[in-house]
A and B are shown apart, each in its own frame.
Chain A
């Protein structure tokens, strides 16, 4: 495809990109760079914005980018419903039908994966024109870059009308002056994203019709049924959130034989993960650590750092698909019908502070 010429669908005024991510992976900044790319390097007009505040409502982050020809005004301010390109920054999002909203035969999708992509087509809830994958986390780790930068390189390849040097330019413009040290790694991340993104062949893989978006029982309040004043009588209902997508590759592993039941882990855990119950240890009646509620563990590893006897150690999530001592919250009197996938929602970006830090490869 010719550089800079937009592949517009029939009847559409804009080429539309939607990024689906979890707070902290840098989709917001990635969207901004894509916006600048069009205006500053491709001779196009563009707009970019994010799902504002969503980082704070427990839902994952979305970023939107619209492109059109230079002479055209972009008038709409609304989110993108039918994307030409859908980019998913984290595998944990794949099963959420909302992520695939409005995708279809007109859409290409790019997904960051960590393992095999064999079953990916069956996870995807809808028909697609093309499906691409890239192991963004591994590339980012290897070249001291960030996932968003790797995805930027991969996107250039998938879009077709953006060259590698275009995205390199935009990365340099955003980073070169302020973070010269991090630039080389990020440029490598872009290049490897561009080169190592793969198009999946769907031969022999069945793909169903898009699922109906399941209306959740808990979210169906309206003006006739919601308690007045925004009052919420469903106490403790955040227990429905499955926060495992917040973990960035690591989790605490419990070696029960070593545990002396000192309780330090429980005192340092922000997420009420440890299930202490009355029991016996060395012949004494006391509170005993029975396991971890991995649904709510965000992988901060505070407990690992605090444990005086190494009964909690850092492990790779990929090495522990079967989590031993997995014990759901013991105070529950009713098991939830489902757990909703959620990210930590404290990732609040401040334009002038955090995004720079993230771009600079800083610890977040």
Chain B
């Protein structure tokens, strides 16, 4: 046995430790709760020079999977971590990787899939992986997360398949326990050995083609090879468990039991519930009930024989699924176990319960109730556990609906000029204070948050009825936590790689219904609201919508980071800014690349109106909103971007946020301009008002960038200033030369 030390750590922290000790070459990732901590923790270690793993922050999970695939083909040892819809978004890539046989490891920190959106733990994501051709190990404790991460890579490289290590989101990923780990990194590396490549891709002397075009009669043979590799994984795993036990003292089997040997009634469940249920078994055993538990450490290859063997004494078997294969009469664990038991001759009663969806807590007493349910002759073969019929609710609205006459307050008027541009009258703060708020108060945004401020400014300038679509992000989470909602107007959420496309469909069906007279004519303004994070992963969808030219507004609140998941870098995070995935340390100074110039990308799509706005210039903001509404109703797609304060993650004082925004405008980091019918107009030139400040003055106002004041970051600041100056000079040239 090798030397081991104690660590009080969560499942995610043990994954980080294993990944560091293994010495992976690369992680390609995109943050998603509850797996995000893994990338964050590795970036922190990287900044402290404790690992030199290459960290690539892709713009979405689909790309992250692509990054990992490319690196695996290149012969690197590669790791990924994801959850829920991230896994589903990337899923197309997984059979590509298993079919072409490139090993890697991916941690799937299991979470409920949308919609409605839940961030909590269940197994609805991982079961979508069952047909992907990846072996799937399932850890039910933080200790197993560590052990299985090490085992997984060895398995992957032995059978040349990518492998998943799955574990419960939050219950396992976030609960801290006492765990053991190898004191010497070398122990882990010796266990794994060197990676061997059968066909080294980067060997120029022996060029290979990967990813052939293959139909009948060949594809089935390729798939049979994959099947054989999976069969082999089933044989290799017990050997690996044994080898691992000899260095760690911890032995594993595909199927683990608790009081199962002589149990007449067995409860089978996956993940952390197995541990909790032991206490329920103890309670019933004290009363003389012969009950026991089983769990699986591996879902692929499915341990059919081991399960059948472990169930041979039981007369009643209850499988509790933390997801449902809707219409299948049970979750996938149930279906697979039922199939496995079909081979055994013994007469046995098998029942299934779906429980604990969306992170609903599982107590020891729930295990007791489940046993009682299973042993009762009156219960069906399949049911849900822990659902409530609820009570009738009377609809008594708090607000009157915002019908068109309520919002047509005449405070802002738009007129088309002869040259085709729009002139806006009004828009004063006093007059527009009379605009009814489209959002109710009581939302849960942080004190001083810029999102509702920007949204209210936008909607003050729009006097028509609005339909709002929010992409996933803080703005959506803090306004719509069930059973409450802040919205007083029609509102829809969709995942943030697809909001713009969804709104395209919604707007077009509305216009069609209006043409047919099925709903009243009259102007409705369709607005998608997205953070800058949503404009990374949803960039393609937004550009596609703009290129098609649907009549709607794409409104981006840019707070420069993925704030909803705890502030990881976005492509709009300023250079040098500290974030949870761009730490400051010996090797890193914060974010390593420039902020994305999204307005110019959208302007290049040739849409009629692009504008930037800031709450520090509120009347300009409101007037642009009025223009945007006009263009969205009459001509085509509009893109608006407002800089939005995040006191929590910018690490500054909530009360001074308007001044910080003003600083961003005055240093020309966030210039106020519009591109109206392809012509650029600068709305505010700080130089003319003698208000121009160096970029560093603005960066010094925020805790996330304050460190750049240090002499050692001089070069970073100089590069930043040059880029800001370059972009501003470019804008000025465009404003002076309409042809540009």
Max count, chain B CB within 10 A of own CB: residue among A236, A287, A349: A236
Which listed residue, B363, B398, B445, B651, touches A270 by the CB 8 Å rule?
Answer: B445
Q: Which of B120, B389, B393 contacts A223 (CB 8 A)?
A: B389
Q: Does B549 contact A (CB under 8 A)?
A: no
From 121 to 171 in chain A, residues with beta carbon under 8 angstroms from any chain B beta carbon are none
Distance to closest chain A CB from B702 (angstroms): 11
Contact in complex: A237, B484 (CB < 8 Å): yes
Is A296's CB within 8 Å of the partner chain B? yes
Docked-complex contact B40 and A52, CB < 8 angstroms = no
Q: Which residues of A contact B568 (CB under 8 A)?
A: 350
Docked-complex contact B8 and A346, CB < 8 angstroms: no
Known: A39-B178, A47-B177, A241-B444. A56 touches B388 (CB 8 A): no
B456 touches A (CB below 8 Å): yes
How many whole Å from B557's CB to the nearest CB in chain A?
Answer: 12
Q: Which A residue's beta carbon lies closest to that of B432?
A: A263
Shortest distance in angstroms between A37's beta carbon and chain B's nearest beta carbon? 9
Q: Is the interface of B mostly helix, strand, loop or mixed?
A: loop
Closest to B579 in A: A353
- When distances are taken between beta carbons in the complex, the residues of chain A under 8 Å from B176 are 32, 35-36, 46-49
Q: Does B99 contact A (CB under 8 A)?
A: no
Minimal Cβ-Cβ distance residue in A for B177: A47
Is B440 touching A348 in the complex (CB atoms < 8 A)?
no
Q: Tell me if B452 counts as interface (CB < 8 A to partner A).
A: yes
Instruction: For A353, list chain B residues within 8 Å (CB).
Output: 40, 566-567, 578-580, 583, 649
A77 touches B272 (CB 8 A): yes
Among B43, B430, B448, B703, contact of A263 (Cβ-Cβ < 8 Å): B430
A226 to B395, CA, bound (A): 12
Cβ of A77 to closest chain B Cβ, rounded Å: 4
Instruction: Annotate B113-126 by CB proximity to A: 1 below 8 A, 0 otherwise.
Output: 00110011100000
B657 / chain A contacts, CB cutoff of 8 Å: 302
The listed residue with most B CB atoms (<10 A of its CB), out of A77, A263, A296, is A77
Residue from B444, B453, B478 whose CB has the most chain A CB atoms within 10 Å: B444
- Interface flags for B447-480 (1: CB within 8 Å of A; 0: not) read 1111111001100000000000000001001111
CB proximity to A under 8 Å, residues B105-159? 115-116, 119-121
Please tell me if the beta carbons of B177 and A74 are within 8 angstroms of each other in the complex: yes
Pick from A58, A237, A271, A346: contact of B648, CB below 8 A.
A346
B410 interface residue per 8 A CB criterion? no
Q: For chain B, which range describes its interface: under 10, 10 to 19, 20 to 34, or 35 or more residues?
A: 35 or more
Q: Say yes or no: A49-B174 contact (C-beta < 8 A), given A77-B273, A77-B362, A221-B390.
A: yes
Contact of B120 among A52, A349, A350, A364 (CB under 8 A): A52
- Known contacts A233-B395, A234-B485, A299-B447: does B276 contact A276 (CB below 8 Å)? no
Binds B, one of A2-10, A212-220, A315-323: A212-220
10 CB < 8 A contacts A-B: A46-B176, A225-B391, A232-B480, A239-B442, A261-B430, A268-B658, A298-B446, A333-B400, A346-B478, A362-B651
Partner of A222, one of B363, B391, B453: B391
**Please, which residues of chain B bring their CB within 8 A of the CB of A57?**
444, 481
Contact in complex: B481, A345 (CB < 8 Å): yes
Q: Which of A287, A304, A357, A364 has the most CB of B within 10 A?
A: A287
Pick the 9 closest A-B CB pairs, nearest first: A222-B390, A350-B566, A345-B444, A263-B429, A346-B446, A238-B442, A236-B440, A300-B448, A230-B116
Q: A223 and B387 in contact (CB under 8 A), knowing A74-B177, A270-B448, A272-B440? A: yes
Chain B residue nearest to A329 (CB atoms) is: B441
Q: Which of A46, A78, A237, A354 contacts B361 (CB 8 A)?
A: A78
Q: Tell me which residues across on chain B come within 8 A of A349, comparing CB atoms.
A: 566
User: 8 Å CB contacts to B: which residues of A194-253?
Assistant: 215, 217-226, 229-230, 232-241, 243, 246-247
Could you say which of A50, A75, A295, A350 contacts B580, with CB atoms under 8 Å apart?
A350
Report B-chain residues with C-beta under 8 Å of the C-beta of A350: 36-37, 40, 565-568, 580
B contacts, CB < 8 Å to A: 6, 8, 10, 33-34, 36-37, 40-41, 43-44, 115-116, 119-121, 170-172, 174-178, 272-273, 275-276, 278-279, 359, 361-364, 387-393, 395-401, 428-434, 436-437, 439-453, 456-457, 474, 477-489, 563-568, 578-580, 583, 615, 618, 647-649, 651-659, 703
* Apart from the given pairs A76-B364, A222-B389, A234-B398, 7 other A-B contacts in the complex at a CB distance below 8 Å: A50-B174, A58-B444, A232-B485, A235-B399, A246-B447, A263-B428, A300-B655
Max chain B CB contacts within 10 Å: which of A331, A333, A350, A363? A350
Residues from chain A with a CB closer than 8 A to the CB of B115 are 230
Tell me the chain A residues, 249-299 only, with Cβ under 8 Å from chain B. 261-264, 266-274, 276, 278, 286-287, 293, 295-296, 298-299
Q: Give chain A's interface residue range (CB within 8 Å of chain B).
A: 35 or more
Residue of A whose beta carbon sits closest to that of B440: A236
Give bound CA distance, A76 to B140, whole Å: 12
A53 within 8 A of B: yes
CA distance A52 to B119 in the complex (A): 9
Contact of A332 with B by CB under 8 A: yes
Q: Are A352 and B40 in contact (CB under 8 A)?
A: yes
Are A262 and B175 touching (Cβ within 8 A)? Answer: no
Q: Inside 8 A of A75's CB, which chain B residues have their CB? A: 275-276, 278-279
Q: Report the minimal beta-carbon distance from A295 to chain B, rounded to whole angstroms.
A: 8
A295 to B364, CA, bound (A): 40
Pairwise interchain contact A46-B178, C-beta atoms closer than 8 A: yes
User: B487 near A236 (CB under 8 angstroms)?
Assistant: yes
A267 pairs with B618, CB closer than 8 A: yes
- Given the known interface contacts A235-B399, A301-B654, A302-B655, the answer about A220 and B393 at a Cβ–Cβ threshold of 8 Å is yes
Q: Are B443 and A238 neighbours in the complex by a CB distance under 8 Å?
A: yes
Give the distance to chain A from B482, nearest Cβ to Cβ, in Å: 6
Shortest Cβ gap from A16 to chain B (Å) = 13
Q: Which residues of A contact B441 (CB under 8 A)?
A: 238-239, 241, 243, 271-273, 293, 295-296, 329
A40 at interface by CB-CB < 8 Å: yes
A168 to B364, alpha carbons, bound, how many Å?
35
Minimum distance in angstroms from A230 CB to a CB of chain B: 4
Distance (whole angstroms) from the CB of A195 to the closest CB of chain B: 28
Verify A305–B655 contact, CB threshold 8 A: yes
Residues from chain A with Cβ under 8 Å of B121 in the complex: 52
A92 → chain B closest CB, angstroms = 14
